[in-house]
Amino acid sequence: NNIYNEICQAKHKSQKLLAILLDPEKIVLENFLELIRKIKASPATHVFVGGSTYDGGDMDKIILLLKQNLTIPILIFPGHPSQISRFADGLLFLMLLSGRNPDYLIGYQVEAIPYISNTTIEVISTGYLLIESGIETTVQKVSKTKPIHRNDNQLAMQTALAGVLIGNKIIYLEAGSGAQYPVPTDMIRTVAQYCNVPLIVGGGIRCRRDIDNAYEAGATLVVIGTAFENDPNFFTT
Ligand code: 1GP
């Protein structure tokens, strides 16, 4: 449980963790080493790899290239079980708690087992909550679920706490990739107050201020996808 234990330690010491999210669908293998160099030069502590619509074709290749060139943990953030690569260090084993689509609550988890068995990948049970963010995000469309309203702190807190009681080890508050607004800081604060597990926050985070706001509100790990995708010098300029 190395990856999870380190995230818990970071939470206890109020350290800030940062993941760069790579959507495999957008990776151009010819330019990938250059992108990896930018990740190396960034303050990222983790790399997440996954996307809502990817068929998983090049996952092994992508993960191996990351592993060969980086020392930070590489985690799969799967939109589908076919995205799981045995070469990754960890897997966020997601339950889409904000929705009521059984495929994303238990169906794909059952399908994922053959991809996980006989691997050394660290599986981290993660309660995943979609939060309304100004647009209909791809993850909403693909999962056919409704997000939690951005002012409904009570429902977010109850949902997260139910996830913790079910056994989720991490709660992930997700505005969705390309979101217009990130998860509101009030909501992060409320969930952090009630759930004594590490919080991951992502979606719609575009600038340093958004990152700092999420940490201040109680996030242990912040995820950046689009902002780094659009500008790989995001952290260095
Ligand atoms: C990870 O889906 C997010 O939680 C990534 O969102 O692409 O908007 O950074 P962005």
What pLDDT shows up at residue 237?
75
Identity of the residue numbered 3: I
Residue 219 near ligand 1, beta carbon < 6 Å: no
Contact by Cβ (8 Å): 38, 232: yes
ipTM of the complex as predicted? 0.97
Q: Report residue 102: phi and psi, to 5°.
A: -60, -25
Residue 15 Cα to ligand 1 midpoint, Å, equals 21
pLDDT tens across 108-167, in order? 999 999 999 999 999 999 999 999 999 999 999 999 999 999 999 999 999 999 999 999
In the annotated binding site for sn-glycerol 1-phosphate, the residues are 172-178, 203-204, 225-226
Average pLDDT of the residues of the chain = 97
If you measure from the C-alpha of residue 224 to the centroid of ligand 1, how many angstroms do you get, rounded to a whole number? 6
Fold annotation for 2-230 = TIM Barrel (3.20.20)
The pLDDT profile of the chain, 237 residues, written as one tens digit per residue, is: 799 999 999 999 999 999 999 999 999 999 999 999 999 999 999 999 999 988 878 999 999 999 999 999 999 999 999 999 999 999 999 999 999 999 999 999 999 999 999 999 999 999 999 999 999 999 999 999 999 999 999 999 999 999 999 999 999 999 999 999 999 999 999 999 999 999 999 999 999 999 999 999 999 999 999 999 999 999 987
Q: What is the structure's pLDDT at 234?
A: 93
Percent of the chain with pLDDT over 70: 100
Nearest protein CA to atom 9 of ligand 1, as residue:
225
CA of 83 to the centre of ligand 1 (A): 17
- What does the block give as tokens for 91? 């897997």
- Outline where the chain has alpha helix (H): 2-12, 32-41, 59-69, 102, 108-116, 138-143, 153-166, 185-194, 208-217, 226-230
Nearest residue to 227 (alpha-carbon basis) of 217, 213, 237: 237
Q: Does residue 226 line the site of ligand 1, with CB under 6 A?
A: yes
Partners of 122 in the β-ladder: 90
Burial of 95 (0-12, 13-18, 19+ CB in 10 A): buried
pTM: 0.97
Q: Which atom of ligand 1 is nearest to the CA of 206?
A: 9
**Cα 174 to averaged position of ligand 1 atoms, centre (Å):** 8
| 177 CB within 6 A, ligand 1 | yes
pLDDT at 48: 98
Tokens of 25: 């669908």
